[in-house]
Chain A
């Protein structure tokens, strides 16, 4: 059954975009009311590859947390994959999150489980039958180039390999959007390139990819859309942008 999606109306601009933010404001209570995001408007279409860049404290992490529905905006609308996150009940959040794939800087793998189980875990929570899992997980591990290491535990892999496992886990449920929060932050140059190539390949297969980063080199090299945040405000949004220095 298709998920009940709130917030879409015919002719509404939000319907054309997989991510739609309108006049979004959010402030942390422990920051004396200083806004983390201020009057943010953002539209990301299906199939786009977008970098969100900015210095520490610019609001990048807050934006990712909003898109994951870990935080809710104080005002404005946040619509992701057709779900109006502002009015979403807590019990609907898991279903919404299954429409996303998420990759973190620190990989966040289950350390006590092997690579196969880490990827299979994402399928198990959506109650895929075991025979389907046995087919999908090796396919996904082959895609990220780790088919031969399915029995290894995360700590037996390099940082780059662990991040590829995280990508496989994020993609195994075929999400429409892949959110990557500093995916290369803990990786060396070679592994960074590998991961970015992998994300580009994922994007070519039709998945919308949003990468939060402050890695100037990859942003400048890949020539994708770049949204720059500064002190909670979008200061630039370029179709084939570059990392803007202060």
Chain B
């Protein structure tokens, strides 16, 4: 069994060199498909990251009734913080609010001797999912001691919309790309193996088992799949870092608004997924294509 394993592996490797054109065609197809797939995944990662960053900046501000005690404010903050859709909940005292506001006013703030925002102590609530903003507001309206709730419905709705579109388009594109890849790659494998139909027939006449005939083809498919996946991953990694540096250096004004996902984070998922897809397609493509020729 061990002998057969190594023999089949050796034959699989030799076949890669024996059938150079088939190998090149398969490698090109797999690499091209996974390259497009990789670009798309990288874009989706970054779009999701940007949406998430913007999302985290959207907050709901809650103002309290006049003369409310600090103890009640603490209770409300505690209740709000425990809600699942809440990512962070900060208490801003009247002094902090004025300090922040006076910074924006600059010299114009100098005329004020007392804090004009004496009643503006508030809670800044950040959500982990802006689509849940309406639920949170509904809940806050039922909480005693709250005078006013400031929210940005337009931003929340726009972000929710963008997120849904990105999610659906990503899923759709990934399925489409995978389907196209599987179709193209299995076609290449089918043509490559059909050319070697005679070789399979000879093996079968001599008394080779289906396993013995199939194993070298499967190894060959898996190795081509592995290399075919590694090439676009490496190329994309280099391109991604180059593009990342280019955008950071040449469009530095964007850096305040947009942060990109580091290559290590994208490729931590993209590399294993691409390799699993490449090796998987190589395995199943050759396994099922050879099966058609085994009934001799």
A201 at interface (Cβ–Cβ under 8 A)? Answer: no
**Given known A-B contacts A108-B198, A108-B202, A110-B202, A94 and B3 have beta carbons under 8 A apart:** no
Please state if B206 and A97 are interface contacts (CB–CB under 8 Å). Answer: yes
**Given known A-B contacts A125-B212, A127-B4, A97 and B207 have beta carbons under 8 A apart:** yes
**Given known A-B contacts A70-B296, A108-B198, A112-B18, A102 and B7 have beta carbons under 8 A apart:** no
Chain A residues contacting B90 (CB-CB under 8 Å) are: none
Please state if A102 and B206 are interface contacts (CB–CB under 8 Å). Answer: yes
Q: What is the distance, in angstroms, from A106's C-beta to the closest C-beta of chain B?
A: 9
**Count the A-B residue pairs with Cβ separation under 8 angstroms: how many?**
48
Chain A: CB-nearest residue to B296: A70
**Given known A-B contacts A127-B3, A127-B4, A94 and B202 have beta carbons under 8 A apart:** no
Chain A: CB-nearest residue to B202: A108
Please state if B203 and A125 are interface contacts (CB–CB under 8 Å). Answer: yes
A68 at interface (Cβ–Cβ under 8 A)? Answer: yes
Q: Give the CA-CA distance A90 to B211 in the complex, in Å.
A: 13
- Indicate with 1 or 0, residue by residue over A85-126, a CB within 8 angstroms of chain B CB atoms: 000001100111110101000001110100000000110111
Q: How many residues of B contact A (CB 8 A)?
A: 19
Chain A residues contacting B18 (CB-CB under 8 Å) are: 112
Q: How many residues of A contact B (CB 8 A)?
A: 25
Within 8 A of A (CB), among B229-282: none
Chain B residues contacting A91 (CB-CB under 8 Å) are: 209-210
- Indicate with 1 or 0, residue by residue over B203-220, a CB within 8 angstroms of chain A CB atoms: 111111110100000000
Chain A residues contacting B201 (CB-CB under 8 Å) are: 108
Q: Give the CA-CA distance A125 to B3 in the complex, in Å.
A: 11
Q: Give the CA-CA distance A98 to B207 in the complex, in Å.
A: 5
A169 at interface (Cβ–Cβ under 8 A)? Answer: yes
Q: Give the CA-CA distance A141 to B204 in the complex, in Å.
A: 22
Please state if A97 and B205 are interface contacts (CB–CB under 8 Å). Answer: yes
Chain A: CB-nearest residue to B4: A127
Q: What is the distance, in angstroms, from B19's C-beta to the closest C-beta of chain A?
A: 8
Chain B residues contacting A96 (CB-CB under 8 Å) are: 207
Q: Give the CA-CA distance A94 to B200 in the complex, in Å.
A: 13
**Residue from the set B205, B207, B295 with the largest chain A CB neighbour count within 10 Å:** B207
**Given known A-B contacts A108-B198, A110-B199, A112-B18, A122 and B4 have beta carbons under 8 A apart:** no
Q: What is the distance, in angstroms, from A205's C-beta to the closest C-beta of chain B?
A: 20
Q: What is the distance, in angstroms, from A129's C-beta to the closest C-beta of chain B?
A: 8
Q: Give the CA-CA distance A122 to B205 in the complex, in Å.
A: 10
Chain A residues contacting B207 (CB-CB under 8 Å) are: 94-98, 100, 122, 125-126, 173
Please state if A102 and B3 are interface contacts (CB–CB under 8 Å). Answer: no
Chain B: CB-nearest residue to A68: B205
Please state if B296 and A122 are interface contacts (CB–CB under 8 Å). Answer: no
**Given known A-B contacts A70-B296, A112-B18, A124 and B205 have beta carbons under 8 A apart:** no
Please state if A94 and B209 are interface contacts (CB–CB under 8 Å). Answer: yes
Chain A residues contacting B4 (CB-CB under 8 Å) are: 127
- Indicate with 1 or 0, residue by residue over A44-83, a CB within 8 angstroms of chain B CB atoms: 0000000000000000000000001010000000000000
Q: What is the distance, in angstroms, from A176's C-beta to the closest C-beta of chain B?
A: 13
**Residue from the set B18, B206, B210 with the largest chain A CB neighbour count within 10 Å:** B206
Q: Give the CA-CA distance A181 to B128 in the complex, in Å.
A: 76
Q: What is the distance, in angstroms, from B290's C-beta to the closest C-beta of chain A?
A: 15
Q: What is the distance, in angstroms, from A228's C-beta to the closest C-beta of chain B?
A: 26
Q: What is the distance, in angstroms, from A83's C-beta to the closest C-beta of chain B?
A: 12
Chain B residues contacting A130 (CB-CB under 8 Å) are: 3
Chain B: CB-nearest residue to A124: B7
Please state if A108 and B203 are interface contacts (CB–CB under 8 Å). Answer: no
Return 20 A-B CB contacts under 8 Å, by A number: A68-B205, A90-B295, A94-B207, A94-B208, A94-B210, A95-B207, A96-B207, A108-B198, A108-B201, A108-B202, A109-B202, A121-B206, A124-B7, A125-B203, A125-B206, A125-B207, A125-B208, A127-B4, A169-B206, A173-B207
Q: 5 tightest CB-CB pairs across the interface, nearest first?
A: A98-B207, A97-B207, A125-B208, A94-B209, A94-B207
Q: Hey, which bits of chain B sit against chain A, CB under 8 A?
A: 3-4, 7, 18, 198-199, 201-210, 212, 295-296
